[in-house]
Structure formats: structure tokens, C-alpha cells
Chains A and B, each alone.
Chain A
Amino acid sequence: MPLTDDEVRDLQAKARELRCLMIDVTTWAGGAHIGGALSSADLLTALYYKYLNVRPDEPDWAQRDRFVLSKGHAGVGLASVLADRGYFPGGLLHEFNHFKSPFGMHLDGGKVPGVDASTGSLGHGLSQALGMAWGARYQKESWLTYCLLGDGECNEGSVWEAAMAASHHGATNLITLVDRNGLMIDGPTEEVMSLEPLADKWRAFGFQVVEIDGHDFVQIAAAIEGARARAGRPLAGRSGAGRPGAAAGPSAASGAASADTAGRPTVIIANTVKGKGVDFMEGNVKWHYGSLDSELAEKAKASITGRRT
């Protein structure tokens, strides 16, 4: 069911608000992986404000959908989202990275409510997410597991070990997203270690691949809803008409799986821009990790909100 115009506007506004918070947290922290947090901000917004079935006041609720941030360095992004969703008081984020803070750059699930897996070392998340998905199916539970990978992370062999196993086991209740922002620490992915043809690689590993613009909420929604339909978990009936005139988005994202692709897990390759929303960070490899003083932070937030400085 496509998003309504109002839903799209609300999600866009929420994403701007969250991006500003990510800038603030980076400033308070003295530095964070802001580039890859901003590139995944719209994906996180769609998941946490539309699709994940979670209870922020009951973070360990057994029936919740799981989310594994395999690109754990984007912790500054996830922590901002979790604070805004009410998992913990937002004021705690002032301690980010500080001595004995619960928040390190790579979030610790034992310390931060709402973090389903402690990640940071790349290539670990998809296996854990697959284990969760297997556990759900074994226990006949209907909750879903989402896993967000970085594109550079797909250099790790362990990602492909997990991918092979996910398709072997037909883990359709695992929904994988790749934040394809095209940059890694040392430069463009295609210069450091080429990933292309990335979609073909996932396809060859037995996945149903959906490629989208990772900053377009209509496409994000269509892709996630398609994946949920393949998982046998279409979004429960929702009031309000579908968005008139909205394209269904990527073809594979619409409706249930066809017979020849049934049982394939879904990967959503979200083409994104590193540093998205901040003009001086966008596409700039130097902003993989960075720090801001208050003046630069104001410029960044002005760029996000379209406000003049």
C-alpha cells in the first residue's frame, strides 16, 4: 500500500529533524561517523516511524521486530532515532563517547535500550540477524528481522557466508538493506575494492533484489512492503486511501512473490548519498568520520532544514 502524501511529508520532516539531532550528537561527542549516518537516515526513519513493530517503553518485548545495524559505525544515527522514539531520554545523548557513557560510537546492546545487537566490527550483523530470523521461525513467531549493511561492508567474506545461508534456508523473514552510498574510508568503493555488479552478486546468492533511491520514501516504502509481503507479513490494514497517482515503485516490490522467486530472502539495495542533507558533506569522503564545532554544526543544520544562516 503506497504512502499517502501526508505520510511522505511527515517522514521527510521527521528525517530532517533526526538529521539535525545527528549533527548535534556528533558535536557533543567530539566526533562521529556522520557521513554514513546521514546516508541511512531516511531508511532508519522509514523503519522506526512506519514499519518496525516495537515498543520503546518495553525494549525487550519478545514479539518485537528486530533491527540489526550491521554497519555499526552509524551508531550516532541509530542512537538519535532511538532517543527520539523514546527508548531513553534524549538528554543522555550529551554523554555520547564520554567517559563511562553507555554510548560509544558503536552501540552496545547491553547498555543502550532498543539496540538488538552490539555491532561495529563489520561483517557480523547479517549472520546474527539470520540467527534471529531462524530462531523466530523455529519458535513459530511472526516477528521480522531487518538488517542494515554498509556497502563497503560487503567486502567482508562473512557477509557472503551469511547470504549463502540465508537463501539456503529460505529466510524470507529476514529483510536485508544495503546503504549503497558508494564511499568507504579510503575512497569510492569502486576504487578501493569494486563491488559492482552488486545487485547481480546478491541475485547470484539467491536473493530477490530490489534497487531503490534510498532517499525517496515512496520507493523505500514500496520496497519494504514488497519484502514484507514476501515474508508473509504484509502491513496490517491501514486507514486512509492509497496515495493517488503514486507509482508502485520498483517492480519486484509490489505484492506477493511470484512462484519462481518464492522462498528467496529480499535485499533492498538503497542508492544513497553519503552525508545526505548537508551540502558540504554530501559525497565527500572526508566526512566518513568528522567533528564539528558549534558554528559548523549550525551551518550543517541550516543546510538540512533549508534555513539561511
Chain B
Amino acid sequence: MPEVTGTTWNVYDANTLTQAEIYGRVLTELGEKDARIVALTADLARSTKIGVFGERFPERLVNVGIAEQNLFGMAAGMAKAGLVPFVSTMSVFASMRALEQVRTDICYQGLDVKIIATHGGISFGQAGTTHHCTEDIAIMRALAGMTVIVPADGFETANAVRACVERPGPAYIRLGRGFEPLHYDSEDYGFRIGQAVEIAPGGDFTIVCCGVAVYHAAQAATILAETDGVSVRVLNMHTLKPLDDAAVLSAARETGHILTVEEHTVIGGLGSAVADVLAQSGVACTFAKVGLPDCYSEVGYPEDLYCHYGIDIDGIVDRIRVMLGIVAELDEDWEDEV
């Protein structure tokens, strides 16, 4: 079934709104049509932008205060009563503070609860490591029945929010803080849950990425094509679970090299998911993962942190050159650099 998006032009303007604000607008639009949609948050209505929904439907937004266990338990009960609750809080609390409620109350019971986890990864880098969340994809992937989506930008967030309402069962949609650059220029590129989007064709190498890494990977592919003559395929693997195995295997067979890039620890996230598919397939290719190493992330503005951990354009370009054995500065002639 195609994800018909329709009236997005009057719902939000992606150039002026953050990813989370777009989510709030789209949820409000969905709420106009579907009275089953209700919303919950734990004193983060403003930060997560679920408050946009609450301004339109005050009687349909429950703020439980700073109490995440009750947040997810109540959402489970509301789903049991026939509603479709959207729950928003920061990803670090959604994935860890209330994990057992998410696992036992929501996933085990197969309930229609949609979790919109904001401030994922190191997108709130300056807040300090208590507010980073570099483990949530690994955690959520391990929960049976959970759909896990990491949208690339605001447009993809809109698509993901619409699509998860149509898909029965729990979903975890991981957003950044909301100031990430746009990759897409509209919603109309054929988003489907579980289906990777090839955002650049290529036959020499493949980058598999999600979230904010999609923007950086796309730019990196352009640089590699222009300066190194390397044709890089870029797969936006927005859905981490269920993973698009076929897209991974095609990439391995057709390009022979895969690099995964994610704003997450390299343990258990996108890279591990792709590695699982490759290791069980018998398809050989060179393979590497870019993400955060096994550590607690440094403090700083996200752009600096992306650079530090090699998740940015330059980091991706450098890593691919190493994998392909390209020595970029062989001639030591600086004239051609300016």
C-alpha cells in the first residue's frame, strides 16, 4: 500500500521547522482524522513537540509528570482500551528508564503504542553524556515485535509517523534534537517501512546509513565521485527492524564493499544488523562500521562530535578512501587543493 501523504504542503514547512516540530504538526493532522490517536509525555511536551498536538487537542494529551514508568504503562493501558497512543520523551529515557514497561507492557502484549524518542544519539551533545543515547537502537532491535525507524530528516519523520499508524503493533521512531540538516526536499520519494531507499546509485562501493548520517553520506558520495571517480551507492536504511536484507545483499554482490554509518555505538546498531545479514549469507565483501566506539561519548555540539567520531562528510570520505586503498595526497602538490 503506498504511503499517501496528500496535504503536507499546508501541514508544515520543512525549511523553517525542526524535525520534532514537523512530527508535532503531522501528528496533529493525523489526530484530526483519527480520534483514536492520543498522546502522552513526561514533562517534555515542549521539548519533544508533542505539545503541538496538545495545543490542538488538550483533552487528548496526558502529561504524567517526570515519571517514565507510568508513562509507558499508561500508554499500554490506553492501547488496551482501543486507542493509538503516541508517547514522546527523550530517547535515553524511552529506551532505558522505562525499558521494562516498553518490553513487557507494550511489546509482549503486542500493543499499538508508537514511541517517538527525541534527542537520540549525540544530538543533544552539549547536554552531557547523561542525555546522550547511543544504545537505543541495539536495545529496541532486541525487542520482539518492535518496529524500529531512524528517519533521516523532517520529511522522513513525517513519512515514518504516518506509516507507523497504518502498521499494527509497537514502533520506536528515533529523532535527533531537531536541528539536523534536511536531506530530502519533499515526502514524495516512496517511503515504505522495511524498504531501504537508494538515494544515490553506485557500482563501486555502498554506504548503508540512517538518521543524520544520511545527509553526510550523500555528500560524501558526491565528493568521492567528483574527486576520486568512485561510484558510491548510498542506501538510506531508515528502518532498522525489519531490516531490508535484500538491499544489503544486492549491495554486497554488486559493489563488493559496504560501510555502515550511524549515530550510535557500533555494538548492536545498524552496523551489527547489516553484519548479521552478511555473515549468514555467504556473500563476501569488505565491510566496516562507522559509529561511536564502545565508550561514553564526549560532550560538545553535535557537529563537533560528528566530526570527532567520523560520522560527518570528511570522516566518511576518509574511511572509504582507506578501505579502497586510495592515497589522496600522493603528489604532495598543494596547488591543486585551492
Contact = CB atoms under 8 A, between A and B. Distances in A.
Q: Are these two chains actual partners, yes or no?
A: yes
A131 B73 contact: yes
B315 interface: no
Q: How large is the interface on A (under 10, 10 to 19, 20 to 34, 35 or more residues)?
A: 20 to 34
A127 B82 contact: no
A164 interface: yes
A162 interface: yes
A129 B81 contact: no
Contacts of B105: 117, 124, 127-128
A134 interface: yes
A225 interface: no
A130 B80 CA distance: 11
B67 A131 contact: no
A134 B101 contact: no
A12 interface: no
Query: Which of B65, B73, B108, B109 counts the most A-chain CB atoms under 10 A from its CB?
Result: B73
A118 B80 CA distance: 11
Interface string A169-184: 1000000000000000
Interface stretch (B26-34, B56-64, B229-237, B279-287): B56-64
A223 B247 CA distance: 62
B78 interface: yes
Contact of B75 (A68, A123, A131, A133): A131
A4 B182 CA distance: 71
Query: Which of A109, A120, A127, A132 counts the most B-chain CB atoms under 10 A from its CB?
Result: A127
Interface in B72-91: 72-83, 85
A302 interface: no
Interface in B198-246: none
A89 B128 CA distance: 57
A110 interface: yes
B158 to A, nearest CB: 26
Contact of A121 (B72, B78, B83, B104): B104
The B interface, classified by DSSP as helix, strand, loop or mixed, is helix
B304 to A, nearest CB: 37
Contacts of A126: 73
A158 interface: yes
B76 A161 contact: no
Interface in A105-152: 109-110, 116-118, 120-121, 123-124, 126-136, 138-139
A164 B74 contact: no
A132 B80 contact: yes
B317 interface: no
Contact of A128 (B62, B77, B83): B77
Contacts of B75: 131
Interface of B: 38, 59-60, 62, 64-65, 67, 69-70, 72-83, 85, 100-101, 104-105, 108-110
Interface of A: 62, 66, 68, 109-110, 116-118, 120-121, 123-124, 126-136, 138-139, 157-158, 161-162, 164-165, 168-169
7 tightest A-B contacts by CB? A131-B77, A127-B73, A135-B81, A161-B70, A161-B67, A131-B74, A128-B77
